[in-house]
Amino acid sequence: MSKRLAQKMPQLSRPDLLRDKMLINGVWRGAASSFEVTDPATTAVIGTVPDATRADTQEAIEVAKEAFKSFRHKTARERSDLLRKWASLLRDHSQDLGRIVSLENGKPFAEAHGEVLACAQNFEWFSESAPHYTGDTIASQNPNVRLHTIKQPVGVCGIITPWNFPASMIARKVGAALAAGCTTVIKPASETPYSALAMAYLAAEAGVPDGVINVVTTHSNTKDVGHELCTSPLVSKITFTGSTPIGKLLMNQAASTVKKVSFELGGNAPFIIFEDADIDKAVQGAMASKFRGSGQTCICANRFFVHEKVHDEFVTKFAAAISNLKPGHGLDEGTTQGPVINSKSMAKVTEHVKDALANGGKLVVGGEPLSELGPNFFAPTLITNGNQNMKVFKEETFGPLAVVAKFSSDAEVVEHANSVEVGLAGYFFTKDLVRANLVAEALEVGMIGINTGLITEVALPFGGIKESGFGREGSRYGLDDYTVIKTVATSLA
Ligand SMILES: NC(=O)c1ccc[n+]([C@@H]2O[C@H](COP(=O)([O-])OP(=O)(O)OC[C@H]3O[C@@H](n4cnc5c(N)ncnc54)[C@H](O)[C@@H]3O)[C@@H](O)[C@H]2O)c1
Ligand SMILES: O=CCCC(=O)O
């Protein structure tokens, strides 16, 4: 273990939560080879985990299929109790889990800890939903027929998740899956497997039966493992959160066996400030929406549109707030801004900054890597004079870059906001009730924040439209994606 690593390795009150094996059928085991996981702030190695193969994945799928035979018959109350216990263990160990999330993802500890609590809330939500999720009695058109529906678990779910929320992207899916009575094979991102493994370890402690939750970690065999999950006839559903290009690839693969699918894909959120907005509130919202996770959340504001009458006031206050951010290691006290995940992300932020400046942008704050902090730190950056020729107005940066464009009319700004292929989240600030309704209806996105930059909570139906995907996670719709409706017609004649 490297010295650099030892400095940042968090002290855990439960060191056994840092698992270095994968979980198949209740057994913690290795694979033929393993891969290294690194701390994005330093690139020091945290440890190694198994590099699962297609054969390992087939085994995990088979045991999940076997476990489904009995798990599907657990009563809703029994599944509810399991989720409640799991949530409670997550709360008990939230400090340790937060440290693991922060270490492997890079986000500040406070954000990582918040993510763990969000996981517990997800399990609590689905624990409450399970016993209340029932079919319907339907009035038939025929007096001699009775119709009713039953909702049944879809079966084995393949779960593929990204690194930006190493814990909560899994919780949203596995919470709903277990509430419905499904079993799962989880493939976490290779950058952040430890959070997934720790959560699965606590699931076993909560009493989740062997084979219900399986975790396969992989790096060099990602394509094979993904292909197996998406094409195996034993898997009934694929749920994926990640980029739009990989989503399209997996959707194609899943079509071969007509699986039920839900896809939470990339965004490119517009953030609009109208002339009647409360500017201080808008700055607060912009900070929360743009810089959470160092700009690496799928619902991060990516394109700022500010009315010409309030542009200068907003820019001055936004620049001051950005200058107050404190970049550093996520586990260091006082850090409010971690690194980006890797060199590929650094390259993308750098490219978007250069491109914006080459297309007439004016640098206000930041603009450069913070190499003295580590290889993956980029200064929180603000650029004005934004325009539609810039790359950042066409694709998400997924990094700490905010570019502001001026606008002068509602029609113009809505047209620009809708000019991209994706539609996940959108935000706007106004005090005008009529405008608020009309703009909310006009924006082509799945989720809208009005006078707020923070929208995520478990009660909110989370998901996108257009090329941001489909399906809704959390909320009262969250179980629909993990169940099938069976209709029963009974003849009385
Ligand atoms: N809509 C949402 O809820 C949401 C949430 C988080 C992230 N995202 C999006 O995810 C992207 C960033 O995450 P990322 O870089 O990890 O995305 P990614 O698509 O590269 O990876 C996501 C997951 O897919 C896996 N993967 C990659 N290639 C694969 C393949 N060929 N077959 C099977 N699996 C494969 C990765 O290992 C990871 O587990 C951004 O575009 C972001 O907007 C969306
Ligand atoms: O990155 C996507 C999820 C964002 C969130 O949970 O707020």
Domain match, 285 and 192 both: no
- The full DSSP string for 338-397 is ---SSHHHHHHHHHHHHHHHHTT-EEEE--SB-TTT-TT-B--EEEES--TTSGGGTS--
Quick one: average pLDDT of 459-469? 98
d(CA 117, CA 130): 20
Domain match, 101 and 42 both: yes
d(CA 93, CA 201): 12
Domain match, 235 and 315 both: no
Domain match, 311 and 407 both: yes
CB distance 201 to ligand 1 below 6 Å: no
d(CA 451, CA 272): 10
Q: Indicate which atom in ligand 1 lies nearest the CA of residue 225.
A: 33
Domain match, 217 and 184 both: yes
CB distance 298 to ligand 1 below 6 Å: yes
Whether residue 4 is contained in a domain is answered as no
Ligand 2 mean position to 39 CA, how many Å?
21
d(CA 398, CA 438): 29
Ligand 1 mean position to 371 CA, how many Å?
26
pLDDT tens by residue, 267-312 = 999 999 999 999 999 999 999 999 999 999 999 999 999 999 999 9
Domain match, 216 and 282 both: no
Which residues 6+ apart lie within 8 Å of 33 measured at CB? 50, 51, 220
**Domain that residue 415 falls in:** 269-450
CB distance 473 to ligand 1 below 6 Å: no
Domain match, 24 and 60 both: yes
pLDDT at 5: 47
Whether residue 457 is contained in a domain is answered as no
Evaluate if residue 4 carries a pLDDT over 90: no
Evaluate if residue 1 carries a pLDDT over 90: no
Q: Any idea which residue has 């699965």 for tokens?
A: 200
Domain match, 99 and 170 both: yes
Domain match, 170 and 217 both: yes
* Radius of gyration of the chain measured on its C-alpha atoms: 23
The verdict on pTM exceeding 0.95 is yes
pLDDT tens by residue, 359-387 = 999 999 999 999 999 999 999 999 999 99
Q: Are 442 and 463 in contact (CB under 8 A)?
A: no
Residue 284: is it exposed, middle or buried by C-beta count within 10 angstroms (0-12/13-18/19+)? Answer: middle
d(CA 462, CA 468): 11
Helix (H, G, I), strand (E, B) or coil at 79: helix
Whether residue 463 is contained in a domain is answered as no
Percentage of the chain with pLDDT > 90?
98
Residue 196: is it exposed, middle or buried by C-beta count within 10 angstroms (0-12/13-18/19+)? Answer: buried
Ligand 1 mean position to 225 CA, how many Å?
14
Domain match, 200 and 336 both: no
Among 299, 396, 475, name the best residue to mutate to test ligand 2's pocket (greatest count of ligand atoms within 8 A of Cβ): 299
Instruction: State the complex-level ipTM.
Output: 0.94
- The 3-class SS string of 188-199 reads CCCCCHHHHHHH
Evaluate if residue 9 carries a pLDDT over 90: no
Whether residue 305 is contained in a domain is answered as yes
Q: Indicate which atom in ligand 1 lies nearest the CA of residue 190.
A: 37
pLDDT tens by residue, 314-341 = 999 999 999 999 999 999 999 999 999 9
Domain match, 67 and 206 both: yes
CB distance 298 to ligand 2 below 6 Å: yes
d(CA 83, CA 93): 15
Measure Cα distances from 442 to 18, 204, 283, 410, 426 in Å: 47, 46, 23, 10, 11
CB distance 297 to ligand 2 below 6 Å: yes
Nearest Cα to Cα of residue 9 among 53, 39, 49: 39
Phi-psi region of 485 (alpha: psi -120 to 50; beta: other; left: phi over 0): beta
Nearest bound ligand to CA 455?
2
Domain match, 415 and 429 both: yes
Q: Indicate which atom in ligand 2 lies nearest the CA of residue 115.
A: 6
Reported as a pLDDT band with limits 50, 70 and 90, residue 482 is: very high
What is the rounded average pLDDT for all residues in the chain? 97
Nearest 5°: CA angle at 269, between 266 and 273? Answer: 175
d(CA 294, CA 100): 18
Whether residue 101 is contained in a domain is answered as yes
pLDDT tens by residue, 116-128 = 999 999 999 999 9
CB distance 43 to ligand 2 below 6 Å: no
CATH number at residue 299: 3.40.309.10
Domain count, the chain: 2
Among 115, 159, 191, 222, name the best residue to mutate to test ligand 1's pocket (greatest count of ligand atoms within 8 A of Cβ): 222
Q: Pull the structure tokens for residue 183.
A: 């079993």
Ligand 2 mean position to 163 CA, how many Å?
11
Q: Are 298 and 164 in contact (CB under 8 A)?
A: yes
CATH number at residue 98: 3.40.605.10
pLDDT at 449: 98
CB distance 165 to ligand 2 below 6 Å: yes
Whether residue 120 is contained in a domain is answered as yes
Ligand 1 mean position to 105 CA, how many Å?
14
CB distance 294 to ligand 2 below 6 Å: no
Among 246, 251, 348, name the best residue to mutate to test ligand 1's pocket (greatest count of ligand atoms within 8 A of Cβ): 246
Q: Indicate which atom in ligand 2 lies nearest the CA of residue 456.
A: 7
pLDDT tens by residue, 67-100 = 999 999 999 999 999 999 999 999 999 999 999 9
Reported as a pLDDT band with limits 50, 70 and 90, residue 7 is: low
